[in-house]
A and B are shown apart, each in its own frame.
Chain A
Amino acid sequence: MTVIKVQNLTKIYKVPQKNPGIGQTLKSFFHRKYKETKAVDNISFKIEEGELVGFIGPNGAGKTTTLKVLSGLLYPTSGEISVLGFIPWQRKSNFQKQIVFVAGQKNQLWWDLPAYETFLLNKEIYEVSDKDFRQRIDYLSQILDIGDLLKTQVKKLSLGQRMKAELVAALIHQPKVLFLDEPTIGLDIIAQKNMHDFIKDYNQKFNATIILTSHYMDDVEKLCERVIIINSGKIIYDGKLSKIVTKFAKNKIISLDFTKEIDKENLKEYGTIINFDLSNAKIEVERNRVADVTGQLLKRLPINDLSIEEPPIEEIIRLIFAKNK
C-alpha cells in the first residue's frame, strides 16, 4: 500500500525583507518587499507502508520543509500530496490521529510538570482508551528505558532524557506515519544508539511508515534501507542506500600492508595515493581497474596483506553535495 504520494511538490517561501533601523521598519510596514525562495523545487516520490526512509541533505536543502508539508503544517505552493489518502494541510482530525511530527529541537512537553502529565493530556486529545494508554506507556517506557523519569519535572531532565519523554508523548496515539526531523540532534553516542534501536523496533513492530531527516550519516546507515538525497530543493538520488556507492563512487580503495618498506614512487603508477607511511598505504583506483591493479600489485610488490574497500558513504555524499553546488 502506498502511504505517501508526492507529485511535483514545490514550496516557495515569501520572506519579508527589511533593512535595520526604525525608519526602515516603518517603511516596510507600509510597503513590504518580499524575497521569494524556492525551498522545494518540483519533487516527486512515493513511500510504501512500513518503509523507513532517510532524508538527507545539507542545511536549507528542503528536508524540513518537505516534512512540514507532509504533516500538514504548511500548504504547498503547487503539486499534489496525499498521506494515508488525506490532503495533509486540510488538517482533518482523522488524519492527525494517525501521524506525528517529532522535531529534535521543538518540544511539546509541559516544562514545569512531570512528563507524565503531558502524556495524560495527549491521551485525551487523541482519544486513546485507558487500556491502550497503559499498554503503550509500558511498552514505550520499557524500550526507551525511562522508568521513574516520568515523575520528574521536565525542566530537570537532561537533553537525552527529555528527548525520550518527547518521543513517548508523541507516540501515545500510536501513529502509523512518523515524521522525525533530526531526532538525534544533540544526543550522546549511547542515547543515539538507543534512539536507533527504538526507531527500528517501532518500525518493525507496528509496520509504521517513517521518514527521518538527519545530518548524521550514522543515523541513516543504521536505520534506512532507502534514502532520498535532496539538495537545493531537488531530489538528486532516491533509492537503496547500498546502491549509492556503486552509482556515485567511481573508485575503490585498496589498502596495502607490505612486508618491508617500499618507495612511494613505486606506487604512483597504480592509482592515487591517499596515505602512505613506508610499510602501509591506501590507494584509490578506478572501479573497473581494481582486479587488474590488484594482480599487478601482488606480482610486483612485497605484499603482506591487501584489502579492497568501498569509500565511506559519508565521503561520497559529501562529494555529491560539493558537486551539486
Chain B
Amino acid sequence: MRKYLAVARITFANVLVYRWEYLISQFRAILLLITLYFLWTQVFKTRIILFNFDREQIITYVFLATILRQFVIISATDQIAQELQSWGKFFSYLLKPIGYFSYWFTVDLVYKLTSLVSIILIIIIPTIFFQIPFVQPAGILTFLLFLLATFIAILIYFYMGILVSTTGFWTPQVWGLQFMMLLILEFSAGAYFPLDVLPATIQSVIKLTPFPYLLYYPISIFLGKLSYIESIRVILISTLWLFAVFSVTKFVWNKGLKAYEAWGG
C-alpha cells in the first residue's frame, strides 16, 4: 500500500510542475460548458419538454457530463504508449517489485482527482452567479447506484486506455488511434448531449457498445431516468463490459510483452 501512496505522491508533484498547462486545459472544458449551457437555455425558452428532458434535467446532464468527463475520461494511460516507445522507464518498472497496471491505476487516480477538484472549483463560481438550477438524485439508493456505475466506468476506461496504448509495442504512431478513440468516445459516450437526442436507430447501435456506459448511463441513473431494476441491469451489463475489456487488454498486453521480448527492444 505504501508503494502506491509513494506513486501517488510523486505523480501529484509532477502534476504541480505543469499546473498552468493543466489549468488551461480545464479552461477548454469550461468554455464548452458555457456554450452548451446557453444553447440549451435558448432551446428551452420555447418549450418545456424535449427528448423527454426538461430544462433542469438537461442542464444537470450537461454539468454532470462535464464533471464526469474530467474524472472518467481524463486518464494517464495514454502516456504508457510513449513509455513503451522510449523504453527507459518501462524497462526499469519491468524490473521492479511493483505491478505495472496497479502502478498506472494509481497514477490515473491522481490525475482524475486533481482534475475533479479543479473542475469543481472552477464550476462553483458561475453556478452560484447564474443561480443555475440542478436536479437532485431521487434518494440515497439512486446516488449509490450512480457512484457504482461511475466507478465501473472508470475501470472500463482505464483498461480501454491501456488497450490503445498497448499498440505502442508494435508501432510508434499511437496518437492517431488515441485521437480516433477520443472522437468516437465523445460522440457515443454522451459527453456533449444525452444520447436521446440522436435518431433511434443510431442510439440502439451505440448502446450495443461499451461507450454509453462511461457517461450516459451513470448520468441517466443520477437523473432518475432509469428505474432501480433498469439501473441494476445497466450496472450488470457494464460489469460484463468491464470484464470483456479487461480480458482483451490483458491478452493483447501479454502478446505485446512477448513481442517485445522476442525482438529484444
Contacts and interface: CB of A to CB of B under 8 A. Distances in A.
B262 interface: yes
By secondary structure, the A interface counts as mixed
B236 interface: no
Given A75-B261, A113-B17, A120-B10, A108 B89 contact: yes
B26 to A, nearest CB: 19
A194 interface: no
Interface centre among B13, B18, B93, B264 (most CB of A within 10 A): B264
A36 to B, nearest CB: 10
A133 to B, nearest CB: 12
Given A75-B261, A113-B10, A120-B10, A91 B3 contact: no
Contact of B6 (A14, A68, A74, A120): A120
Contacts of B18: 112
A74 B261 contact: yes
Contact of A126 (B10, B17, B92, B97): B97
A118 B88 CA distance: 14
A52 B92 CA distance: 22
B10 A13 contact: no
B96 interface: yes
Interface size on A, as a range, is 35 or more
Contacts of A96: 95-97
Interface in B66-118: 87-89, 91-98
Given A91-B95, A113-B14, 13 more contacts: A13-B264, A73-B91, A73-B261, A74-B261, A107-B88, A108-B89, A108-B92, A108-B93, A110-B10, A113-B10, A125-B96, A127-B2, A127-B97
Interface of A: 11, 13-16, 39, 65, 68, 71-75, 91, 93, 96-97, 99-101, 103, 106-108, 110, 112-113, 117-118, 120-127
14 contacts: A14-B262, A68-B264, A71-B95, A72-B95, A91-B94, A107-B89, A110-B14, A112-B18, A113-B17, A120-B6, A120-B9, A120-B10, A123-B6, A125-B6
